[in-house]
Structure 1
Amino acid sequence: MPKSPSIMGIINVTPDSFSDGGQYSAADIAIEHGLNLLSQGADWLDIGGESTRPGAMPVSAMEEINRTLPVITGLRANTDALISIDTMKPEVAIAAVQAGADMWNDVSAGRFASDGLEIAAQLKCRLCLMHMQGEPRSMQAAPKYDDVVDDISKFLADRANLAIKAGVKPENIWIDPGIGFGKILNHNIELMRNLDKIIQSTGFPMLFGASRKRFIANIDQQAQNASDRLGGSIAVALAAANHGADIIRVHDVQETKQALMVQNKLNSIE
């Protein structure tokens, strides 16, 4: 029976994120939201200062730091909970870890900067390597794979090996298949059906994030607004847990926590 995964609550400190852009752009509101997510059962908080939705435009490292650092500092002053910084930029990761972040959650898998993996090694924090085909501005422009599960497994294993060669400790490495990042619906479905194979083939724990993503609306045409995708988000969270994901990254912590608790109880009944 798969173990129950940890829950990572999302805090987007951005004006343009696909689901909650602008809601938590003020530091005091973001800090309050983070503490509320912890009270609902989150084990992690993931702080992001740059939207990576399809078509998103980049922002400077300084802008990201100005958005995220007050939130990390404020949260760390109020909780010992695990904090992740969601960024591609080493400068942002450095500032975040110095302020108390425990993980660098990198959607570029260390490819944004030539010295990204070396800096991750120096920081000695956990590092999550995610697969993304292309970049946020162009990643949904006709993505193609020979075999999506094998291709992404190989990519993640290769990036992890490079991280280890750069000095990152193997026990600090996490992987993320990047649901919705350069994938069409069929790619996402195939990946979610084979998360356990990806985990087994790479040998690293998985952070899984599909909360409120567009592919849910591809399945349910009534869910065009991100806020209408709670049911689909819970469905994929449960599926990911059954396939061995170690952390589930979500917007709706309380509802996901309850669903996982019930599933875990059902699975334990003989």
Structure 2
Amino acid sequence: MLKKEMQWNIGKQKIVFPMGRPLIMGIINITPDSFSDGGQYLNPQVAADRAFWMQDSGVDLIDLGAESTRPGAEPVSEKEEMTRLLPVLKRCRAKLTIPLSIDTYKSKVCQMAIDHGADIINDVSGGGWDPELLAVVARSPVGYVLVHSRGMPKTMQKEAQYHDIVEDVFNELSVKLDRCLQAGIDKERIICDVGFGFAKDKTQNLILLRRLSRFHDLGRPLMIGVSRKSFLQVFAKRHGVDVEMMNIIAQTVAFWQGVEIWRVHDVVTAVAARDLLEKIWKADSSL
């Protein structure tokens, strides 16, 4: 899909889209309760080694999260989130050469992450759960991921009531984007994410996936996070296949609609798919 060229500013780094391939953001959850890999990376060195391995495997960005925001999750304190995050962030920052994203909605955690070298803040609340977060982001040069959600993780699935899922999410993201601009965050520092699974049911997720091209009218690059989400787990279980197959299908559908970034758990499969899509895009037969 042909798109207008756009730039994403991450500190001194500038990423120009479209690139003819998706960027891969590898997920590392430093939590005991995340839906996919909770408990695997609580040891700071194990988590950091995972990040280094992801970089060596070809991902473009790393996303660290120290609080689960899956539907139904219990919140954790700022102190606990920082205690989990900081040792991993320090280890990663010392060796990683690719941009490092921090998944948080708390202003104090955000400030700590920026102070210790984070390049991107990935905010599932879209600036809605901590009134100070946007101001903290605005005072820094970091990139910002604006995610659509409703409610809080504990109760968000009760908020999955829409007149038109695509237009409602589009309008709510537009309002949140304007709020970011008013807070002083440069537009070129922002990318948008429709928030698959956050206050959306299975059918709503599928409709959003089919109509992602609508969100180009926001005027910003797009990221998706469908990796291992429940609406894909359902299809995988029904057909007796690994959910990673469903992930790649959904992510490829998104790519052909112009989505620039995939946020994923299984980076090996995603990197392979990315490289093949780039060959197809460029009609390069040197496989």
Q: TM-score range by the shorter chain?
A: over 0.9
Matched, 1:27 2:41: no
User: Structure 1 residue aligned with 2:260, among 246, 252, 259?
Assistant: 246
Q: State how 1:129-148 maps to structure 2 within 5 Å.
A: 129-141=146-158, 143-148=160-165
Matched, 1:212 2:212: no
- TM-superposed CA distance for 1:223, in Å, is 7.9
Q: Is the 8 A contact 2:119 2:142 kept in 1?
A: yes
- TM-superposed CA distance for 1:133, in Å, is 2.0
Query: 3-state DSSP class of the match of 1:134?
Result: coil
Structure 2: give runs of 5+ residues left out of the alignment. 3-19
* Structure 1: 4+ residue segments shifted above 6 A: none
Aligned to 2:277: 263
Instruction: Identify the range of structure 1 (33-42 vs 114-123) with the bigger mean alpha-carbon deviation.
Output: 114-123
Aligned to 2:55: 38
Query: 3-state DSSP class of the match of 2:173?
Result: helix
Q: Is the 8 A contact 1:216 1:223 kept in 2?
A: no
2:253 aligned partner, one-letter code: A
> Alpha carbons of 1:228 and 1:57: their partners in 2 closer, same or farther (altered >3 Å)?
farther
Query: 3-state DSSP class of the match of 1:109?
Result: coil
User: Structure 2 residue aligned with 1:230, among 238, 244, 263?
Assistant: 244
State the distance in 2 between where 1:264 and 1:126 align. 25
Deviations 1:211-238 (A, max 9, x none): 01111123233489xx941111111111
TM-score normalised by length of structure 1: 0.94
2:136 aligned partner, one-letter code: I
- TM-superposed CA distance for 1:114, in Å, is 1.7
State the distance in 2 between where 1:112 and 1:134 align. 9
State the distance in 1 between where 2:278 and 2:158 align. 39
State the distance in 2 between where 1:268 and 1:169 align. 32
> Alpha carbons of 1:223 and 1:76: their partners in 2 closer, same or farther (altered >3 Å)?
farther
- TM-superposed CA distance for 1:116, in Å, is 2.0
Deviations 1:186-220 (A, max 9, x none): 11111111112112x21111121110111112323
Q: Is the 8 A contact 2:224 2:263 kept in 1?
A: yes
Query: 3-state DSSP class of the match of 1:77?
Result: helix
State the distance in 1 between where 2:178 and 2:244 align. 36
1:217 aligned partner, one-letter code: Q
Deviations 1:4-27 (A, max 9, x none): 111000000000100000001110
Q: Is the 8 A contact 2:22 2:260 kept in 1?
A: yes
Aligned to 2:117: 100
Aligned to 1:165: 182
State the distance in 1 between where 2:263 and 2:64 align. 11
Q: Percent identity, aligned pairs only?
A: 38
State the distance in 1 between where 2:130 and 2:261 align. 26
Q: State how 1:76-225 maps to structure 2 within 5 Å.
A: 76-141=93-158, 143-199=160-216, 201-222=217-238
State the distance in 1 between where 2:239 and 2:68 align. 21
State the distance in 2 between where 1:94 and 1:215 align. 34
Please provide the CA RMSD for this pair: 1.7
TM-score normalised by length of structure 2: 0.89
Query: 3-state DSSP class of the match of 1:210?
Result: coil
1:255 aligned partner, one-letter code: T
Query: 3-state DSSP class of the match of 1:141?
Result: helix
User: Structure 2 residue aligned with 1:9, among 22, 26, 49?
Assistant: 26
State the distance in 2 between where 1:202 and 1:218 align. 31
- TM-superposed CA distance for 1:88, in Å, is 0.9
1:44 aligned partner, one-letter code: L
> Alpha carbons of 1:222 and 1:26: their partners in 2 closer, same or farther (altered >3 Å)?
farther
Deviations 1:40-75 (A, max 9, x none): 111100000001112100000111111111111101
Aligned residues: 267
Matched, 1:75 2:92: yes
